[in-house]
Amino acid sequence: MCDTLVAVGDATADGRVLFAKNSDREPNEAQALVFVPGRKHGPGEMLRSTYGEIPQVPETHAMLLSQPYWMWGCEMGVNEHGVTIGNEAVFTKEPYDKKGGLLGMDFIRLALERTATARAALDLITDLLSIYGQGGSGSATHPFYYHNSFIIADPGEAWVLETAGRYWAAVKVRDVYSISNGLTIGAQWDLASPRLVEHAIQKGWCHSAADFHFARCYSNPLMSRVACCTQRQSRSTTLLRAQAGRIDVPVAMRVLRDHGPAVEDGAWRPAPGNPDRVCMHAGFGPTRNSQSVASMIVHLDPALPTLWVTGTSAPCTGIFKPVWLEGGLPDMGPALTAKYDPNTVWWQHERLHRAVLENYTGRMAVYRADRDALEAEFLADAAQLVAQQQGTAAEDRRATLGAFTAQCFSRASAATRMWEKQVRQARRTRRPLFYRVAWGRANRQAQFPA
């Protein structure tokens, strides 16, 4: 389960397009930040996606991806032209292809490596959908099948694309939009697949074109209800609309860390869970197996887009760091797996995150103010740095941006180690039995240290 949101035009503080996403997956499903340079490819070359092969194109763009460790595609990413995409699992009445096709995450990577605008990315995804379909399991540990919705943005505009099998509809974003594991497009859209309405009438999902509503006709109501998509999408939309005209990166950070309207961080506990939150925390049972394992915000300034990434799980316990495609990524450690590795940024933060879960209220209070202060420093320094890059030589800019990103990651890692020591000095609380069982199982599976 995930939450993806976008704000454009007058909805943002500076008129720039702003994209944000939490990627929710199983607690041990580590997600890597990966920089992929642009490349040229030979005639007849084939590309190996997660479950199949498709022809490669002559040239692909440079990209920065947030990628589950086990798949070819990505949950979210940005290319050198500022095209930015994130996807959501959606559950529909159309049958799932359990043998092949492209994963929703494969569509993201293919569009990022092959297109230079949001509209071109939308067209490519729908073309590939008509040729190859979408299918295959989207889970690393068990069969899990779904269709996909996407937010696709560039520095000039943003689109929402929602699919059901090979059928789809798309709307251009006018102000703010969020998606959360359920179809949202209704009786009006800007683009759609052929026979979208006729197919629903033939299936008996509506009586006529006048009665047609994409989400109502094509959604699987039971699975959509289990995903709590309506509550979460309503919550993120409410938060965005409340800040319309003032939405900026700090606002996006607060939305991705949101735990719902009825609680404050000082009194909130992750064990019970609540349906109307954006920051996802795993618990016990088949409907509580998702955890926010990576977060990304993209400020799409046409001159120099800035990415704000955690590179870790649980944005409420982590810290956002700035990244630019030109500057690349610092060393994040060895390749990630579902097993604990103290030499990786993602698993280093899990020591802090899982310690906080033992007394969320008390232990977050230990370092939240210090985390916020360090993050505010990153924001201020990054804004100043971007302003200074106007007119600088490409090589100099690349070195300056890369050095600053590496410095921020280094400071964040040092702070994470310090905060872990501090929070472990705060007492643990007695958590519900089944919650402890769920996290005990996750820790054993990851060979996480006691």
Instruction: Enumerate the active-site residues.
Output: 2
Partners of residue 4 on adjacent β-strands: 21, 179
Return the beta strands (E) in 37-119 as ranges.
39-40, 46-48, 53-55, 59-60, 63-68, 76-79, 84-90
Cα 215–220–225 angle (5° rounding)? 95
* Helices 345-356/433-446 angle, 10° precision: 160
Distance of CA 97 to the CA centre of its chain: 24
> Which residue do the tokens 């950070």 mark?
253
| 3-state SS assignment for residue 34 | strand
Token pair, residue 157, equals: 């505009």
- For the purposes of burial, counting CB atoms within 10 Å of the CB of 439, is it exposed (0-12), middle (13-18) or buried (19 or more)? buried
Q: What is d(CA 141, CA 53) in angstroms, rounded to the nearest whole number?
A: 22
Nearest to 319 by CA among 268, 355, 364: 364
Q: What is d(CA 338, CA 229) in angstroms, rounded to the nearest whole number?
A: 27
